[in-house]
Amino acid sequence: MNSLRFDAIKNITNSSVAQSTKTADKITSVFNENVFTLKTARHYLSDEAYKSLLSSIKGGKKIDRTMGSNIANGLKAWAEEKGVTHFTHWFQPLTGLSAEKHDSFFTLKGDGTPIQEFDGAALIQQEPDASSFPSGGLRATFEARGYTAWDPSSPAFITETGEGKTLCIPTIFVSYTGESLDTKTPLLKAIVALDKAAVDVCQYFDKNVSKVNATLGWEQEYFVVDAGLALARPDLALTGRTVFGHAPAKGQQLEDHYFGAIPERVYAFMKDFENESYKLGIPLRTRHNEVAPAQFECAPIFEELNLAVDHNTLLMDVMTRVAKRHNLMVLLHEKPFAGINGSGKHNNWSMATDTGVNLLAPGKTPKTNLMFLTFFVNTIKAVHDYSELIRASIASASNDYRLGANEAPPAIISIFIGKYLTDVLNQVESRVGGSFDEADEAMLKLDIHKSIPELMLDNTDRNRTSPFAFTGNKFEFRAVGSSANCAGPMTILNSVMAETLKNFKIEVDALIEKGEKKEVAIMQIIQKYIVESKKVLFEGDGYSEEWEKEAEKRGLPNVKTTPVALDAFAAEKAKKLFEDNHIYNHLELEARHEIMLEEYIKKVQIEARVMGDIASTMILPTAVKYQNMLIENIVGLKNLNISSSLYESQQAVLEKICEHISVISKNVEAIIEARKKANEISNTRDKAIAYCDDIKIKYFDTIRYHADKLELMIDDSIWPLPKYRELLFIR
């Protein structure tokens, strides 16, 4: 019998482990090989061009056309030496992926002479024919074209696909009138806003600080499965997750996978994609197994935020591409397998000054302690005040399956800070009336920096369940989904932090003006912020039901579905925040909201279709086939006058199969009707809610339940879909 499932299994058994392409002995010898780093730039650029590039990177200075051409020439010389023939503006449209449009250096002069050329204009700005990227109606409102513009703060790099090499210029993507159409533009704006607000606050403590960089270290979780098996499942191929599939007899109960040995085939793949990543300057540091079978994680050394985001986007591309060479498929979806751990992308975030201080690292002197407390408490206040937006920043159709499911943070935004810092905040809070005059000295002499590391070790288990945890010298935003572009949540976090710090400064300055001593004024506002935001702090088990109840009592939002979570983007509060900080104007914000809702609808729509298709064309026909086998068997036995009590069990199975077939058929019909109805809704939010409530929630689980029951009853040799045990355990 022809079966993709069994062919795939046979192929795995027959094939030997794919070897990774030869990798360098030392990471340092390939690291940044394909990146136009400042060191490389120094070599290929004139003094003048180099200086111009440097001041653009460090100080955000504009590069003029002439200088642009000089830099472009240097870039071209470097790229050509490496065998590059094409260049592209590399950008991140609102689909969350990256996009490229390749142009060659090749061109013809007026007289027809062929030459290789890359001028400043081509480096600085392009008009990609990108009208099919989501724009939430923005480009229609203004001007049909969007254009990409060079972001010098992220270095150019060369990608290698097979024999082809392409010079990639990181760019932003905006409409002709300047509205952002990508994820990078608002991120850069939020980085600038935070820089300004944080530098202003730093002046209280150190006048030498002139720049604050947000830092990000992401941890990427993913599943790896055999590509042949995965492609035999239309759901995995089209949606990145399994919409059917019964849990395997051996699940993750044993938890023997966590930190266990990495299977050889996966190891070869890892070495390969890591090697490519190093060439691209992605500083990967760790790799290990995750809790679920076939689940893994990699994490780099943290970097300046904008670069870290680009590197994560690149990494996801590289992983996906390299996996194909190994006949594997990487699943970046947040919940590829029901009942098995999902994947997240923890965003470790902090802020660093140009004087070399991590603003979320506890200080060693009273003065630096106060600086730490300032930024620490402001973060808590920011997350508290804007928890709806923080929640919205991680909302997506795919992350909905993960949040609140086993081993994933709930949809309630809370912060874990550990017992020691809880005590510190309690002490600050209990100074009634903000009488810090004598007490503040003692308070600030606390050995915060010494006590925190120990404390963090004690609490590792607990803080795992928190969506937003302080981990010693940074906050770890854990609710971010594995397939997300970090720019979304990071734009929001940096914006709310900028706003909070701005207000902090206004409040402190007001007290100082009234004659209060600077340190006392700062402590008083810190105290005020602790009181105002402490309800967001939670040290207990975030996965428990008690927490849901407790959170409700505290009045913390618990929004479980994306269409409703996204309402935060439509709120007046969000409009004001983003306009005041120059991140989004109200049109851009409305467009984003619209795009996210549309994306949600599309995702659920595709899942519903795939579910219907698989049920109608694969599962039901198989069930009917088996039904016929049973009927034939029962009729045969009956004809032989065998006592009916002896084939009761076949009869019972047959009846159950009839039942499941009937429920599945009815619901597949009903879901089609529900889709038709939802498609008639013109308001995007209402339509998204219909897709969520009347399609996904109402039908998905029911159809799946009955199909998964059939999987357990039907002859294994005719079941068409690769099973969980095969996907997760065959390596």
Query: At its nearest, how many Å lie between ligand ADP and the CB of residue 687?
Result: 39
Query: At its nearest, how many Å lie between ligand ADP and the CB of residue 219?
Result: 6
Distances, alpha carbon 676 to alpha carbons 563, 605, 613, 690, in Å: 19, 11, 16, 11
Query: At its nearest, how many Å lie between ligand ADP and the CB of residue 277?
Result: 14
Q: Which of residues 217-256 bind ligand ADP (CB under 6 A)?
A: 217, 219
Phi, psi of 224 (to 5 degrees): -125, 125
Examine residue 363 and tell whether it contacts ligand ADP (CB under 6 A): no
Give the C-alpha separation, 680 to 659, whole Å: 32
Interface residue with ligand ADP among 306, 348, 561, 605 (CB under 6 A) is: 348
Query: At its nearest, how many Å lie between Mg ion and the CB of residue 476?
Result: 5
Examine residue 455 and tell whether it contacts ligand ADP (CB under 6 A): no
x-marked contacts with Mg ion along 207-246 as a string, rule CB under 5 A: ------------x---------------------------
Residue 284 interacting entry, from ligand ADP, Mg ion, none, C-beta within 5 to 8 Å by type: none
Question: Which range in 11-19, 60-68, 124-132, 209-217 contacts ligand ADP by CB under 6 A?
Answer: 209-217
DSSP class of residue 683?
S
User: What is the torsion angle, in degrees rounded to the nearest 10, for the CA atoms of residue 186, residue 192, residue 193 and residue 194?
Assistant: 110
Residue 217 interacting entry, from ligand ADP, Mg ion, none, C-beta within 5 to 8 Å by type: ligand ADP
Give the C-alpha separation, 152 to 565, whole Å: 34
Query: At its nearest, how many Å lie between ligand ADP and the CB of residue 329?
Result: 25
Examine residue 358 and tell whether it contacts ligand ADP (CB under 6 A): yes
Query: At its nearest, how many Å lie between Mg ion and the CB of residue 305?
Result: 17
Examine residue 345 and tell whether it contacts Mg ion (CB under 5 A): no
Helices (H), 365-486: 366-385, 387-393, 397-400, 419-430, 439-444, 448-458, 460-463
Burial label, 114 (beta-carbon count in 10 A; 0-12, 13-18, 19+)? exposed
Query: At its nearest, how many Å lie between ligand ADP and the CB of residue 409?
Result: 14
Interface residue with ligand ADP among 451, 473, 585, 651 (CB under 6 A) is: 473
Residue 226 interacting entry, from ligand ADP, Mg ion, none, C-beta within 5 to 8 Å by type: none
Query: At its nearest, how many Å lie between ligand ADP and the CB of residue 217?
Result: 3
CA angle, corner 99, sides to 96 and 100, nearest 5? 170
Is 490 or 657 the residue whose CB approaches ligand ADP more closely? 490
The three-state (H, E, C) secondary structure of 377-410, written as one string: HHHHHHHHHCHHHHHHHCCCHHHHCCCCCCCCCC
Examine residue 449 and tell whether it contacts ligand ADP (CB under 6 A): no
Residue 388 interacting entry, from Mg ion, ligand ADP, none, C-beta within 5 to 8 Å by type: none
DSSP code string of 182-247:
BSHHHHHHHHHHHHHHHHHHHTTT-TT---EEEEEEEEEEEEEEEHHHHHT-HHHHHHSS-SS-PP
Is 56 or 312 the residue whose CB approaches ligand ADP more closely? 312
Query: At its nearest, how many Å lie between ligand ADP and the CB of residue 355?
Result: 15
Question: Which range in 345-353, 368-376, 619-627, 695-703 contacts Mg ion by CB under 5 A?
Answer: 345-353
Residue 170 interacting entry, from ligand ADP, Mg ion, none, C-beta within 5 to 8 Å by type: none
Examine residue 354 and tell whether it contacts ligand ADP (CB under 6 A): no
In one letter, which amino acid is 1? Answer: M
Give the C-alpha separation, 202 to 658, whole Å: 71
Which pair of structure tokens corresponds to residue 648?
């009761």
Is 229 or 371 the residue whose CB approaches ligand ADP more closely? 371
Residue 118 interacting entry, from Mg ion, ligand ADP, none, C-beta within 5 to 8 Å by type: none
Is 219 or 388 the residue whose CB approaches Mg ion more closely? 219
Interface residue with ligand ADP among 78, 157, 205, 349 (CB under 6 A) is: 349
Is 349 or 376 the residue whose CB approaches ligand ADP more closely? 349
Is 134 or 217 the residue whose CB approaches ligand ADP more closely? 217
User: What is the torsion angle, in degrees rounded to the nearest 10, for the CA atoms of residue 719, residue 720, residue 722 and residue 723?
Assistant: -30
**Residue 71: in which H helix or E strand, if any?**
helix 65-81
x-marked contacts with ligand ADP along 596-625 as a string, rule CB under 6 A: ------------------------------
Query: At its nearest, how many Å lie between Mg ion and the CB of residue 286?
Result: 10
Decide: 692 and 684 in contact? Cβ < 8 Å.
Answer: no
| Largest Cα–Cα separation, the chain | 105
Give the C-alpha separation, 386 to 380, whole Å: 10
Tell me which residue has its CB nearest to ligand ADP: 217
* Alpha-carbon torsion (401, 405, 408, 414), positive or negative: positive
Which pair of structure tokens corresponds to residue 363?
């200080």
In one letter, which amino acid is 619? Answer: I
Examine residue 675 and tell whether it contacts Mg ion (CB under 5 A): no
Interface residue with Mg ion among 233, 311, 346, 381 (CB under 5 A) is: 346
CA angle, corner 422, sides to 550 and 530, nearest 5? 80
Question: Which range in 118-126, 166-174, 210-218, 576-584 contacts ligand ADP by CB under 6 A?
Answer: 210-218
Is 480 or 614 the residue whose CB approaches ligand ADP more closely? 480
Is 301 or 658 the residue whose CB approaches ligand ADP more closely? 301
Query: At its nearest, how many Å lie between ligand ADP and the CB of residue 257?
Result: 17
Query: At its nearest, how many Å lie between ligand ADP and the CB of residue 171?
Result: 25
Residue 349 interacting entry, from Mg ion, ligand ADP, none, C-beta within 5 to 8 Å by type: ligand ADP
Give the C-alpha separation, 642 to 682, whole Å: 62
Phi, psi of 219 (to 5 degrees): -120, 115
Decide: 155 and 54 in contact? Cβ < 8 Å.
Answer: no
The three-state (H, E, C) secondary structure of 240-292, written as one string: CCCCCCCCCCCCCCCCCCCCCCCCHHHHHHHHHHHHHHHHCCCCEEEEEECCC
Decide: 197 and 501 in contact? Cβ < 8 Å.
Answer: yes
Query: At its nearest, how many Å lie between ligand ADP and the CB of residue 488?
Result: 17
By CB under 5 A, how many residues form the interface with Mg ion?
A: 2
By CB under 6 A, how many residues form the interface with ligand ADP?
A: 14
Examine residue 40 and tell whether it contacts ligand ADP (CB under 6 A): no
x-marked contacts with ligand ADP along 285-324 as a string, rule CB under 6 A: --------------xxxx----------------------
Distances, alpha carbon 653 to alpha carbons 335, 631, 648, 712, 714, in Å: 32, 11, 9, 11, 9
Give the C-alpha separation, 327 to 317, whole Å: 16
Is 116 or 460 the residue whose CB approaches ligand ADP more closely? 460
Tell me which residue has its CB nearest to Mg ion: 346
Query: At its nearest, how many Å lie between ligand ADP and the CB of residue 281?
Result: 15
Examine residue 416 and tell whether it contacts ligand ADP (CB under 6 A): no
Is 245 or 344 the residue whose CB approaches ligand ADP more closely? 344
Is 56 or 378 the residue whose CB approaches ligand ADP more closely? 378
Give the C-alpha separation, 459 to 630, whole Å: 56
**Contact positions toward ligand ADP, by CB under 6 A?**
215-217, 219, 299-302, 348-350, 358, 473-474
**Contact positions toward Mg ion, by CB under 5 A?**
219, 346
